[in-house]
Amino acid sequence: MAIEIVATKRSPQAVGPYSQAVAAHGFLYVSGQLPMDPETGQMVDGKIEDQTRRAMNNMRAILEAAEVSMSDVVKTTIYLKDMEDFAAVNGAYAEYFPSNPPARACFEVARLPKDARVEIECVAALPTSS
């Protein structure tokens, strides 16, 4: 199976030597998404819920570029600067998975790129060819 790089201008460009997403072996691996505005490249201000929604919208834009949706996501990982934000992040995150949410892990980390408060990555199943 070929490996395909997926990219879209509807999500912020990579801030390092990595791809927004890579499709391989029936899955789409989406790199961690920060709460960055794709038009300005700047971190969004505001509450952690707003930042979580921005990161999730960035992730969704990449999924859509690969012609999959949030319902195809099978695993997410959330990285938090402060675990005290866990409940608020959960509330915003749940808006994107109203039923049958994917498997997930969540970690508090010492520091994130651009001093973000949240970063979210995912793996999605790609449609099978007939």
* Residues identified as active-site: 106
DSSP string of the chain? ---EEE--TTSPPPSSSS-SEEEETTEEEEEEE-SB-TTT-PBP-S-HHHHHHHHHHHHHHHHHHTT--GGGEEEEEEEES-GGGHHHHHHHHHTT-SSSPPEEEEEE-S--GGG-SEEEEEEEEPPPP-
